[in-house]
Amino acid sequence: MRTLKEELRRLCEWTSTLELKRALAAWVSWYNTRYWHLALGYRTPCRVEQQLGHSTQFVTA
């Protein structure tokens, strides 16, 4: 998996700040809801938060 910096800064050229902000929100949403983390027992951050009973709101696109 590439880092946020590699995905959004180095691989793309943005034509506007709004375009970059939308892409950033989508990437963060994907990372928090779809990417399984080894350190979290192959669970997403959202799943861990739900299982712990926390009410953290993650950014969604």
Nearest-5° Cα angle at 19, 29 to 60: 15
Q: CA–CA separation, 16 vs 58, rounded Å?
A: 24
Domain boundaries, the chain: 18-61
The pLDDT value given to residue 42: 95
Look at residue 34 in the predicted model and tell me its pLDDT: 92
pLDDT given at position 44: 93
Helices (H), the chain: 4-5, 17-33, 45-52
Give the per-residue pLDDT at 47. 92
Whole-number pLDDT of residue 7? 78
Q: pLDDT tens per residue, the chain (61 residues)?
A: 778 888 787 777 888 999 989 988 998 999 889 999 999 999 999 999 889 887 666 555 5
